[in-house]
A and B are shown apart, each in its own frame.
Chain A
Amino acid sequence: MSGVPAPRAAGDGQVLLRATDVVKHFPLRPGRRVVRAVDGVSLTVHSGETLGIVGESGCGKTTLARCLVRLIDLTSGTVEFEGRDITRMSRRALRPVRRHVQFVFQDPYASLNPRRRAGDIVADPLHVHGHGDGAAVRRRTEELFDVVGLSKTYVDRYPHEFSGGQRQRIGIARALALNPRLIVADEPVSALDVSIQAQVLNLFADLQEQYGLSYIFIAHDLGVVRHVSNRIAVMYLGEIVELADAEEVYAGPVHPYTEALLSAVPQIDDGTTVRRERITLTGDVPSAIAKPDGCAFHPRCRYAQERCRSERPLLTEVAPGRLAACHFPLLSGLTEQL
């Protein structure tokens, strides 16, 4: 599945991260069945862009993110960051790379140590990577609080004294501490109320503009992913089924799963929206332990044909700039737009 052509991207277009055929299987019993959490994913992230990864629970979004930054080791495949293969680097050799790749976690209640002060949490990366003495670290910490919109006077408070949105700001400040090039954000706003979610999404946008950051932004909320992303990868059962420019995916999905996913989003009817036809998927997502043969989506796909049951479709360019893993992509809607 290597050699996938990349659709156009925002930013200066330099490839920052390239993943090739990433596989992560978790064995259940040695030599027996495995959970195929990530099953052959190839993607690129360009400098200055946001790649959104969307999919339902259990589709392998988080496992993929952890593989991409080597928080866990890959079963097979490679990940290159700025042209260097980090797949089999030792922990020591990885350290300088880690400065440039930071992670923002989903649960702002679980990702901050409750027994440490907010300022110390944010300063941790600075200490680990040996950035100056106490006073310099303190100055930088206060600066980071300022950047993410928290009062400097909060540095000595403990996590429980902050609201959910403020905690996520602390997590973002910690990720920013070392001036990274890439931030991987795993469901950073899903635990927040909608008004607070909007504030944090605006912060992500401002920081990108200010520092030229690249993001891999994982979320299950399709509105959120559309809002932040330049390009979008849609995952289903450990595979990318569609990958293209965000607006194009939302305007005309070419994979039947994307089509169903978008049609399922409850929409606010304020008199301006146009309703799409709802495609209700039947049944549940199959288990990643016993993936269906052929196309993983075929048991729930309303367009499935004989070929889909036996032959696994690969992610290929089905229309200019539109990648999909489907034998019968939905191209009729595209010609109308062109």
Chain B
Amino acid sequence: MPEPLLEVRDLRVTFRTRRGTVTAVDGLSFSVLEGDTLGVVGESGAGKSVTVLSLLRLIRDPNARITGTALFGGEDLLSMPESDLRAVRGRDISMIFQNPMTALTPVYPIGWHIAEQLRAHEPMSKAAARARAIALLREVGMPNPEVRVDSYPHQLSGGMRQRACIAMALACNPRLLIADEPSTALDVTTQAQILELMLRLRNTHGSAIVLITHDMGVISETADRVLVMYGGRAVEHGSRADVFRRPRHPYTWGLLDSVPRVTGGRVRRLAAIPGSPLSPFEVPTGCVFAARCPHRHEACAQRPELRGVDGHLDACWLPDNRAEIRQQARSSQPAEVGP
């Protein structure tokens, strides 16, 4: 087993608010291998973004409290001095955000963004940085990179802006690329272009990727390993084939069954998950998904640990014959409850 590039242990992020303490991420552990793609999936409020922002210590809220460890190349990101972390951010670990319009400064051309990133991490003349920026833009498929390097963000389409952000993120050949919903704001044909680009660059640059999305289809087509989050906790973790072909957690079942597909048989009613996503103010002491789970039983008052064999883990008290249980639940008509 190769050494993990990033190893997160017992990450906990809490916020003090006027209405009490909110636990956004609750004891999360996962690892990312060198050159691997980890897909993190879950609905809004699951703690996906807070997790990755806390790893790079980008949460500036003084009411936030982050505990646990995040070993990156043997050093703890959560406890290293800010000056050391500055050298890591953008060089060893870089990030792509959901909305490329807000991730770029509107008052500078895109070439400036890339050159700034380069010059922050290695001594380089302005001319050399500009030449490198043009080369990067060409690599991410920007048409006319020599001209576009001087374009301002508002002069580009959404897809082209996201390409510019990817060029920026790749500028220093990061070992880990964190992409937070990189294709969510884009149209489906543009999304296909961007995802294809990211995978191609992963192969040429050898960067590991943490891809956050709410779209099960995107995860299924890109990730090697998958982490399913709900209510700030990991509910299932495994290889792509594990999670999509042999899902074990009832929440994963619900997510997979709620998505209307473009192929295969058409159902008249979707198997919706009843109820609403968990409010961070009302995190139960037992299983986080229990309130919406059709398989809830007495044991669920206790919080299940994430456990399993052969790297396929889940946090659920159901017995091990999950495929059978899921099949039974599917054949009996599910009860319909609105929020």
A residues adjacent to B (C-beta < 8 A): 56-57, 148-150, 163, 165-166, 169, 193-199, 201-203, 205, 220-224, 226-227, 247, 250, 260-274, 276, 278, 280-285
B157 and A202 within 8 A (CB):
no
- B269, A202: Cβ atoms under 8 Å? yes
Q: Are the C-beta atoms of A270 and B263 separated by less than 8 Å? A: no
Question: Which of A149, A150, A196, A268 interacts with B220 by CB under 8 Å?
Answer: A268
Q: How far is the CA of A268 from the CA of B222 in the complex (A)?
A: 11
Bound: A280/B190 CA distance, A: 9
Question: Which B residues are within 8 Å of any A CB, using their own CB?
Answer: 43-44, 143, 157, 159-160, 187-193, 195-196, 214-218, 220-222, 240, 244-245, 254-264, 266-274, 276-277, 292, 336, 338-339
Contact present for B192 and A278 (CB under 8 Å): yes
Give the A-B pair count, Cβ closer than 8 A: 151
Tell me the bound Cα distance from A262 to B264 in angstroms: 13
Whole-angstrom distance from the CB of A273 to the nearest CB of chain B? 6
Given A56-B187, A264-B188, CB of A250 within 8 Å of CB of B262: yes
CB distance from B238 to the nearest CB of A (A): 14
Identify which of B196, B214, B259 contacts A280 (C-beta below 8 A): B196
Contact B217 A265 (CB under 8 A): yes
Partner of B261, one of A193, A205, A273, A284: A273
Q: In the complex the two chains form, what is the Cα distance from A8 to B196 in whole Å?
A: 38
- Is B244 a contact of A269 with CB atoms below 8 Å? yes
A271 to B245, CA, bound (A): 6
In the complex, the answer to whether A193 meets B260 with C-beta atoms within 8 Å is no
C-alpha spacing A297/B223, complex, angstroms: 32
Given the known A-B contacts A227-B260, A266-B221, are A195 and B43 also in contact in the complex, defined by CB atoms under 8 Å? yes
**Taking the nearest CB of chain B, how far is it from the CB of A235, in angstroms?**
12
- B191 partner residues in chain A, CB cutoff 8 A: 264, 266
Contacts of B215 in A (CB 8 A): 266
B261's nearest neighbour on chain A, judged by CB, is A223
A-B contact pairs, 23 of them (CB 8 A): A56-B187, A56-B190, A165-B339, A166-B339, A169-B338, A193-B277, A197-B258, A198-B260, A199-B272, A199-B339, A201-B260, A202-B272, A205-B269, A220-B187, A223-B260, A227-B266, A227-B270, A250-B262, A264-B192, A267-B261, A269-B221, A270-B244, A273-B263
Q: A150-B338, A199-B338, A224-B260 are in contact. List 16 more A-B contacts (CB 8 A).
A: A56-B187, A149-B339, A165-B339, A193-B214, A197-B258, A201-B260, A223-B261, A226-B266, A247-B266, A266-B191, A266-B221, A267-B261, A269-B220, A270-B256, A271-B244, A278-B192
- Residue from the set A193, A224, A226, A247 with the largest chain B CB neighbour count within 10 Å: A193
Contact A281 B189 (CB under 8 A): yes
Least Cβ distance of B142 to chain A in Å?
11
Residues in chain A near residue B270, CB distance under 8 A: 198, 201-202, 227
Most buried by A among B44, B159, B276: B276
Q: Is B44 in contact with A193, judged by CB distance below 8 angstroms?
A: yes
Q: Which residues of B contact A267 (CB under 8 A)?
A: 217, 220-221, 261-263
Closest Cβ–Cβ distance, residue A280 to chain B (whole Å): 6
Which chain A positions have C-beta within 8 A of B261? 223, 226, 267-268, 273
Which residues of B lie under 8 Å from residue A198 when comparing CB positions? 257-260, 270-273
- Report how far A337 CA is from B164 CA in the complex, Å: 43
Contacts of B256 in A (CB 8 A): 268, 270
Which chain B residues lie closer than 8 Å to A193 at the CB level?
43-44, 214, 277
Cβ–Cβ < 8 Å partners of B338 in chain A? 148-150, 169, 199, 203
Question: When chains A and B are docked, how far (Å) is the Cα of A198 from the Cα of B157?
Answer: 31
A274 and B263 contacting across the interface, CB-CB below 8 Å: yes
Contact A266 B245 (CB under 8 A): no
- Minimum CB–CB distance for B25 against chain A, Å: 18
A148 CB to nearest B CB, Å: 8
The 4 A-B residue pairs with the shortest CB-CB distance in the complex, in nearest-first order: A149-B338, A266-B217, A198-B272, A227-B260
